[in-house]
Amino acid sequence: MTLISLLGVCKQYDYKVVLKGVDFSISKGEKIAIVGKNGSGKSTLLKIISKEIEIDSGEYIFQNNIKILSLPQNIVFDPLKTVREVCEDSLYELKIAHKKLESINFRLAKSEIVGSEVLEEQGRLIAFIEEHNAWDLGNKVAEILQRFDLENIADHLANTLSGGEQKRLALAGMLLKSADIFILDEPTNHLDVQSVEFLEEMIRILKCSVVFISHDRYFIESLAHRIVEIDEGILRNFEGGYGNYLQKKGEILHQLAKEQEYLLKLLKTEEEWLQKGVQARRKRNEGRKARIMQMRQTAKDNPSIIRKMRLELEREKKHFNQIEGKNSKKMLFECEGLSKKIGNKILISSLNLRVLQKDKIAIVGKNGSGKSTLLKIFLGEINQDSGIIKRGEVKIGYFDQYRKMLDEDKDLLETFCPNGGDHIEVNGKNMHVYGYLKNFLFPKEFLDKKIALMSGGEKNRVALALLFAKKYDCLILDEPTNDLDIATINILEEYLCNFEGAILFVSHDRYFVDKVADKLLVFNGNGACEETYMDYSQYLDIQKELQEYEFMQTEVEKKQPTQKNKIITKLSYKESMELESLPIEIEKLEKIVKILESELSDNQIYQVKGIVQIASDLENAKKELESKIERYFLLEEKQQGLKR
């Protein structure tokens, strides 16, 4: 059933046409992802659907009594409400349903004679509560607070929360409500991976329709039944997830190239006719001449359109899995026993880490686990509590998610040319400022636009362009993909993958991490950190399997606790800590090997994952396990020798 239809809808702001006679519909239960560049009209389309703005022309057709709930990017809460109260208020309709059902059940318990309409109402109420899994409202609130990492601040006033916390609260409150259509604008911003995965679970089981904008391509692939792309005011529909969208775009590009080839052949024939002389070009053939002029213009325009599409598609499809050789790498940072806590909370405990030239390290983990704290230690903004950090001669470029490096009173030209002129030096090469900025999707008319008047995504593009204009040995990036559209993320990925220095970055964008990082530093909580060379998506899959495995093994005899050794003064502190942590790491790797070996013998699993991939993962895990065991025995023998 179609809930909403837009027919021939047009919308423009001043002289900018955003939507050009577009058709769009939403069916019951459909999950639709809206994609396109910043400023292409994605948010405008959402506001039209939710009736926040009027259309200029066309038709808006909708079912009667349809309920639409929208999650805006700018969120405002009642200043007197706590986090828990905001969530409880979201259950208003369910509370009413419970009261009505209690009233009916009370009448029936008294053997009161009621009409069929009362029994029908009872059935509707039961179905409504069942649909929302809401028999225990208190438990429902507690679960969503816990899953969105809000339980520890449940009694704080909602308007005192940080931007990220407010976004999570708004999502939590929205998901507790009922509606026919949910509208979500960048719902994964400010969420850690665990919260994103919970959001995916919640949206997947919703029976209502969901229309969302997101730059998280795994999120889109996981949820979207259909992708709608907005480009130059035109809507294109692609059935299926993100992988299918890329494939279909490739087919469109191929068809456009074929049409261009045919057009050029036809134009050549017509041009020959035009050259035949006056007799052939009499007035009655003026129409044919006009068509030739139109064909010339189309032939001139098409190559640039096709080239633009091909470039965007190549950026999107390209996987930078081939890591360049890393010989002759110099040391940029080395940490030994690095520790840091804030108040009583341990963020980093005895971290040992080396950062070499060309390393691309993604720092991942839950919000508040210490990721940004580690970046600040590397930058020298804060000091560690204990341990050593050695810095080589390293020039650092830093991008922070709050864009503190931008002066909002300056326009774009002043930002890049503070001393006047219109040329800048980019990695030792003199360039016109627009020639450089168009690589970051800025049109020429933006040169005199104030930074303060730009959107969050545009400001991030300015900050990234400033960063990449200079030469650095190491880039430190804190949530660089926030507020960026997919086209800009593709450009960012290309710059980072071709960057010759080291990169340390924090991100929750799984697709982005998979494409850029060659190593993960995982913050597991309570100060514990783990290094791995797995892809991030692969690491998350393994962690899920480990949790399932541990749950299934609860009846297995527990491992005997290892007897603590006496402190050996001649064994260094670093070696003692390593010896203590190795059994845990070895046990975890043994479980991973066992899981992968079982997958290799499971026909259903290896047909999905691919036998080559599983075998490769198994080989890597075994190598890492062998290395850890060898190191453990080496330290154990050393300690025993010292005891003697």
| CATH code for the structural domain at 573-642 | 1.10.287
> What b/e readout covers 583-595, taking b as 16+ CB neighbours within 10 angstroms?
eebbebbebbbeb
Complete DSSP assignment for 130-199: HHTT-S-HHHHHHHHHHHTT-GGGTTSBGGGS-HHHHHHHHHHHHHTS--SEEEEESTTTT--HHHHHHH
479: left (phi over 0), alpha (psi -120 to 50) or beta: left
pLDDT along the chain (644 residues), means of 10: 93 87 94 87 92 93 90 79 89 82 81 78 82 77 86 90 83 87 87 83 89 90 93 90 85 72 62 51 51 56 51 47 42 87 90 87 90 91 90 86 80 89 84 88 88 86 88 91 85 90 92 91 88 83 72 54 49 77 85 80 62 75 83 76 61
**Which pLDDT value is given to residue 181?**
94
Taking the whole predicted model, whether its pTM rises above 0.85 is answered as no
In 3D, which of 414, 515, 524 has the Cα closest to residue 466?
414
pLDDT value of position 604: 64
State the Cα–Cα distance between residues 418 and 412, nearest whole angstrom.
10
Instruction: State the pLDDT at residue 405.
Output: 79
Print burial letters for 547-582: b (CB count within 10 Å at least 16), e (below 16).
eeeeeeeeeeeeeeeeeeeeebeebeeeebebbebb
Q: Tokens 């929208």 correspond to what residue?
A: 70
Fold: same for 70-245 and 332-545: yes
pLDDT at residue 339 in the model: 92
What DSSP string runs through 230-241? EETTEEEEEES-
Output the pLDDT for position 571. Answer: 67
pLDDT of residue 44: 92
CA angle 446, 478, 432 (to 5 degrees): 30
CA pair distance 47, 53, nearest whole angstrom: 6
Neighbours of 634 (CB within 10 A): 12
Question: How buried is residue 196: exposed, middle or buried, by Cβ count under 10 Å (0-12/13-18/19+)?
Answer: buried
* pLDDT score for 637: 72
pLDDT of the residue at 237: 92
Superfamily of domain 332-545: P-loop containing nucleotide triphosphate hydrolases (3.40.50.300)
CA distances from 286 to 121, 270, 281, 292, 636 (A): 73, 13, 7, 10, 94
> What is d(CA 416, CA 438) in angstroms, rounded to the nearest whole number?
13
pLDDT of residue 517: 92
Can you name the CATH fold of 70-245?
Rossmann fold (3.40.50)
With tokens 């839950």, the residue in question is 366
As given in the structure block, the two tokens for residue 117 are 């309409």
Domain positions in the chain: 70-245, 250-275+294-314, 332-545, 573-642
User: How many angstroms separate the CA atoms of 468 and 235, rounded?
Assistant: 33
d(CA 89, CA 81): 10
The per-residue pLDDT for 61 is 93
Token readout for 315 is 């950026």
CA distance 435 to 440: 10
What pLDDT was estimated at residue 320?
28
